[in-house]
Amino acid sequence: MQSVDVLVKGRGAVGRSLALSLAAQGLSVGMTGNPEASRPDDVRTYALNAASVALLTDLKVWGSLRGDAISPVYDMIVSGDAAGGQPAGRLSFSAWQQGARELAVIVDAAELDAQLATALRFSPHVHDVADDTPAALTALCEGRESAARSALGVEFKPRPYGHRAVAARLVADRAHQGVARQWFQPGGEVLALLPFEKPLPGASYGLVWSCAEARALHLTALPAADFERELNEATAGAAGELKLGSERSSWPLALARAETVCGPGWVLLGDAAHIVHPLAGQGLNLGLGDVAALSRVLAGREVWRPLGDERLLRRYARERLAPTLAMGELTDALQRLFAHPSNAAQSLRNRGLDALNQLPPVKRWLTQRALGL
Ligand SMILES: Cc1cc2nc3c(=O)[nH]c(=O)nc-3n(C[C@H](O)[C@H](O)[C@H](O)COP(=O)(O)OP(=O)(O)OC[C@H]3O[C@@H](n4cnc5c(N)ncnc54)[C@H](O)[C@@H]3O)c2cc1C
């Protein structure tokens, strides 16, 4: 059987990006699974940071995305909950104040998937191969349920939040003007509206509404008109009158990190290595950060060092430890703070949002972390 330099398992955004990146270095890459696998019904929109956009641009994928599949975020407004007679806190970010062109770019998950698959078809160094193809290095990008990770005996214990994220496309009766909005509501509910161009240019949003499991399933099953009523109550007209523009889907939420992300001849990337709450829109950004880091480490290896050398792969593990740990802890702390039902916690978070809003250097620091700078 013909061997390859790197065997990539998993054709999500992380696996496909890694295959393209390594092939661009001249390595021979084998990919397992169905080459046609795509998720055209994925209603999600991803908020991608500057570092992810730069990687996808280098891979010649960003430039081929359809114009209506990407939408820049210029401003972001985060609101606390006003229950219990206390005023809601408010924190706002603006690209202009941060000296950035945009705070993030919202991209159509299904279109990104499709363009990554197309780019792979034109990559001469990437081949569809059998699962047991010999390789110097196997990169596991199989997502949170990775079977190959389990077969290696790597511990990965998801801590479920007991919440699901409901995603859908929405249409507003008012232009979004590049403003993303997020509400932290009682019980740890987080509702985010991400400005988008489909189905209606200039007036659409990607919705991510994270809430307790039973409520999420209820919201997903509600007739459209009842769902829209609940949604418009929760957003109180801040983005105009909102209507559904797609089906609704939901995903279970959990926090997890693999106890180790590499060993002799294998490495973990993306959701196979770590999963975080989507409240900060950072899961795929972390996964693409893994891709960039592993590509750099492999490109910079000593000529005599094999690709699967564990000492080499530990450089990747060390580089990714701090960002993945920090993002897991930050999203978890925010989720817990906003889920806490006491009046004291509510007052603290609302005053915290207001106080942060008055601290431009801290806002700049937070923005730079979110931009991946
Ligand atoms: C509602 C929601 C909103 C989100 N919003 C954002 C956001 O705004 N910004 C952001 O950065 N992130 C966001 N995320 C996170 C993001 O979706 C994930 O981090 C990202 O999709 C992970 O990509 P992946 O390629 O690692 O895994 P996956 O997308 O899970 O892909 C894994 C692939 O491997 C395949 N596979 C599994 N087992 C095998 C096997 N044995 N052999 C071969 N193939 C296999 C699977 O079929 C799948 O195709 C969000 C997540 C959710 C749920």
- pLDDT digit string (tens) for 12-59? 999 999 999 999 999 999 999 887 767 778 999 999 999 999 999 999
Please work out, in degrees rounded to the nearest 5, the angle formed at the alpha carbon of residue 232 by the alpha carbons of 227 and 238: 150
* pLDDT reading at 268 higher than 90: yes
Model confidence at 301, in pLDDT bands (50, 70, 90)? very high
User: What distance in Å separates the CA atoms of residue 96 and residue 41, rounded to the nearest whole number?
Assistant: 35
Distance 358 CA to ligand 1 centre (A): 36
What average pLDDT does the structure give for the chain?
91
240 in contact with ligand 1, CB cutoff 6 A: no
Distance 239 CA to ligand 1 centre (A): 29
User: What distance in Å separates the CA atoms of residue 343 and residue 322, rounded to the nearest whole number?
Assistant: 33
Number of the ligand 1 atom closest to the C-alpha atom of 285: 11
User: What distance in Å separates the CA atoms of residue 16 and residue 66, rounded to the nearest whole number?
Assistant: 19
Among 21, 38, 46, which is best to mutate for testing ligand 1, by the most ligand atoms less than 8 A from CB?
A: 46
The residue whose C-alpha atom lies closest to atom 38 belonging to ligand 1 is: 142
Distance 257 CA to ligand 1 centre (A): 15
Distance 330 CA to ligand 1 centre (A): 20
The full set of domain ranges for the chain reads: 4-158+253-371
Number of the ligand 1 atom closest to the C-alpha atom of 272: 26
- pLDDT digit string (tens) for 122-137? 998 999 999 999 999 9
The residue whose C-alpha atom lies closest to atom 53 belonging to ligand 1 is: 251
47 in contact with ligand 1, CB cutoff 6 A: yes
* pLDDT reading at 86 higher than 90: no
Better pLDDT: 98 or 8: 8
- What is the torsion angle, in degrees rounded to the nearest 10, for the CA atoms of residue 297, residue 298, residue 300 and residue 303? 140
What would be the CATH architecture of the domain defined by 4-158+253-371?
Answer: 3-Layer(bba) Sandwich (3.50)
Specify the length of the chain in residues. Answer: 373
